[in-house]
Chains A and B, each alone.
Chain A
Amino acid sequence: DIVMTQSPDSLAVSLGERATINCKSSQSVLYSSNNKNGLAWYQQKPGQPPKLLIYWASTRESGVPDRFSGSGSGTDFTLTISSLQAEDVAVYYCQQFYSSYTFGQGTKLEIK
């Protein structure tokens, strides 16, 4: 199974500042067939199901604010929130869908 490891486990960022969350896979999730990475990012707020933010590592889901962006390829990926808003406080998960499906352990994002 592909193991997904996120860092850090938690972080605190000031409003308006940049937040960066990393995700590393134990093996490459790059499809040779379409040169896309089988990697998604989700946001989960308390008491709610997760919400899809990004798939194919960098494709923003419809309706997701453009302050959210995804980057990376192969085994190393990053979710960036360019200017943190109060409503972005949540737990963020990466997920690989290259070989079966596995989630990272989650990163808790708080306001400093």
Chain B
Amino acid sequence: QVQLVQSGAEVKEPGASVKVSCKASGYTFTNYYIHWMRQAPGQGLDWMGRMNPSGTSTIYAQKFQGRLTVTREVSTSTDYMELSSLRYDDTAVYYCAREVNVGIGAVNYWGQGTRVTVSS
């Protein structure tokens, strides 16, 4: 069965970086896009960025340009999301999710979420 397992909760100081992993299993990793979203406490969903199936191309939401890096390690079927220059309002649950299929931008498999707290 398809599974996306994310790394554990993180607490970071303002200005630091955080790197969250998303390990996929149960399907051919290089056939699907993986997206990253976040959800601040009590707030809605915020799309952050996306990695293409081969791991050669990313797109990012404009609000995260320059601070967000998504990478793919094909050998371990793992995607990584790194957010730098953290601010207090980056405190959120971060999710990775897999697209239904290439060409369908909806996501139907989600990781469990990783809570990132930015605190001094």
Contacts and interface: CB of A to CB of B under 8 A. Distances in A.
B44 A52 contact: no
Given A1-B62, A49-B97, A55-B100, A103 B45 contact: yes
- Chain B at the A interface: SS class: strand
A97 interface: yes
Interface residues of B, number: 22
Interface size class of A (residues with CB under 8 A): 20 to 34
B82 interface: no
Contact of A55 (B62, B106, B110, B111): B106
A40 B105 CA distance: 8
Interface in B21-80: 35, 37, 44-47, 50, 59, 61-62
Contact of B45 (A56, A61, A93, A97): A93
B112 A49 contact: yes
| B37, B46, B62, B111 pick with most chain A CB within 10 angstroms | B37
Interface in A47-93: 49-52, 55-56, 61, 91, 93
B115 to A, nearest CB: 11
Contacts of B111: 49
Given A40-B105, A100-B47, 7 more contacts: A42-B45, A49-B112, A52-B107, A55-B106, A61-B108, A103-B37, A103-B44
10 contacts: A44-B45, A49-B95, A52-B107, A55-B104, A55-B106, A56-B104, A95-B106, A100-B47, A101-B47, A103-B46
